[in-house]
Amino acid sequence: MNSNNGWSQIERILDIPVTIDSRQLKFPLLGGINNPQFSEVDLNNDGQQDLYFFDKIGNVSVTFVGDGNGNYTYTPEYATQFPKMSRIVLLRDYNGDGVQDIFTLDAESGGAGLQVHQGAYSNDTLTFQRLDLCCGFFNVIYYEANSGLINLLVPSTDYPAIEDLDRDGDLDILTFSQSGFTVDYFRNLSVERGFGLDSLHFVKEQDCWGGFAEIGLTTKIDLSDTSGDCANNLVGQEEKISQEKNPKHAGSTISVFDADADGDVEVYLGDISFDNISELTNAGDSAMAWMTAQDNQFPSYNAPVALTVFPASYFVDLDNDGLKDFIAASHSIGGTENYNSVWYYRNVGDADNLLLEFQTKSAFVEETIDLGSGSHPCFVDENADGLMDILVGNFSFFVEAGGRDSRLFLIRNTGSLTEPAFSLVDTNYLDFKQFNPTHYNFTPTFGDIDGDQDLDLIVGSESGSLFFAENEAGVGNPLVFGSIQTSYQSIDVGVGSSPVLADMDNDGLADLIVGERSGNLNYFHNGGSTGSPSFGSSPDDGFFGEVDVRDSNGFGGHSTPTLVQTNLDTFLVVG
């Protein structure tokens, strides 16, 4: 895994069968899905549509090769060709060469605009090179204004639409204005000025495109009574509305699709404060959009999107029948659904009419091991059969009103030494869920803390304290734990304890190294004896090894230590 300033990317994955409830998963080790942003793509230049999504939790690219019949194979090797990206990713063919390019938020400048990466094939593998946009301080998309060139800003909370709106062959951009009420239309004049499709020349064509306004206080969208005008109740009231609008409403997603094949596009909106998608019907044309009708519980004729909270919408032909299907996925980081987070609707209409039929709330998620958010795995032979099993703690599944659903999960190895296979056999191991909501974000580790040669269980939590469960089974037997001790030896590292056991001073007693949210490591010396471990409530070294895994801005860190043993040495590895 690569990690740099919060960017992570899986480069290699093991092909190991995993079952849940006797059902073998298609993509078991994909890594979970929280905030996917979907795009169509041909990854291997075979002429078949493949699928890409960018998960902004972790800034991860995920790639699937399609067989042309709506079936997909998880192929992480193609994801390694995608560049470092942040928050917003759309794959669009801006230069008409038949190869998808990338539009993404410029993370290096703190979000000053959109980068563009041009796609090309190398040995039938899609690769990218950042486009030199020639102008301005940042290498991002600019638009022309009377005062000169201005970088085209897209708020990092939002998701823009990048499509050919005026039907001239080049790509235009829709994004919510800085006020958050109306949509700015940035028209690409590359074709009109004779540059062809291999250039990007933008002007701000309209600052209230479609004539509608999203105030954000309700799900209702304000529409204009007249084509070419802005919504009536917005005119002259921008400052008043800005003062009334709660700051938490500052976030919107927008996608467009010609649902009735009349040559213009309908609009599909999501708002940071609501769980719905609104469809706006366009009664205008490609030159002047005019939204005159709305479905605030889209699709109201089937199963309306109700995705807590802040959904974004994507049109991709998922089943390869030639019609664009519809996906609504969570766009908010934190405080949002993290399992039933990808709603898939199949388009059962025709080329002239969009007609959606709900399929599932957990597309792709249901085919992978997804334990909510924040998984913390460790390995142990739980049933003493000579095969390593996996115990996983999670941060939490999503629960309404700020609740918690954090547990330990036992994934048992049902294969062999040479051909491992796993099955989820316990979704609340040792009933750790009983400690919610005070304790959550469980981080388990095993070690012989009392010197009796078997493995005991230590579990960290968001509270900063530790749980301890003594293994009473003895060496070589399946694990059997006594009562669980909370607030073990009054140890508290603040927030987000993540423990590992190691005899750091070679005295024959296991010491504790505990990570925490601040990114440092805390060392607790075991000053007890065999059968009677003893630790101080405060660390003997609160900056152990001078480890600091905070990001470049000095925020977060969430240090998570583990031990890696080789034939010669034991290494302390910190994530």
Domain ranges of the chain: 376-574
From the list 97, 272, 118, 82, the residue with the least C-alpha distance to 180 is 272
From the list 493, 496, 484, 507, the residue with the least C-alpha distance to 537 is 493
User: The tokens of 25 are what?
Assistant: 């998963």
Largest CA distance in the chain: 83
Residue 303 has pLDDT above 80, yes or no: yes
Q: What is the pLDDT of residues 71-93, one digit of tens each?
A: 999 999 999 999 999 999 999 99
Triad 56, 58, 61: Cα angle to 5° = 70
Lowest average pLDDT, out of 11-15, 293-297, 353-357, 460-464, goes to 11-15
> What is the C-alpha to C-alpha distance for residues 247 and 249, in angstroms, rounded to an integer?
5
Output the pLDDT for position 333.
Answer: 84
Q: Are 212 and 221 in contact (CB under 8 A)?
A: yes
Residue 232 has pLDDT above 80, yes or no: no
Buried/exposed 272-308: b ≥16 CB within 10 Å, e otherwise: bbbbbbbbbbbebebeebbbbebbbbbbeeeebbbbb
Output the pLDDT for position 247.
Answer: 46
Length of the chain: 575
Q: What is the pLDDT of residues 315-352, one digit of tens each?
A: 999 999 999 999 999 999 877 888 999 999 999 999 99
Mean pLDDT value across residues 265-271: 98
Q: Give the H/E segment covering residue 256.
A: strand 252-257
CB within 8 A of 347, min separation 6: which ones? 321, 323, 324, 325, 326, 354, 355, 356, 357
- Ramachandran bin of 325, using left for φ above 0, alpha for ψ from -120 to 50, beta for the remaining angles: beta
* pTM for this predicted structure: 0.90
Q: How confident is the model at residue 147 (pLDDT cuts 50, 70, 90)?
A: confident
If you write DSSP's letter for every residue of 464-479 in order, what string do you get? SBEEEE-B-S-TTS--
Q: Give the H/E segment covering residue 240.
A: helix 238-244
Q: Would you call the peptide bond into 437 cis, given omega within 30 degrees of 0 as the criterion?
A: yes
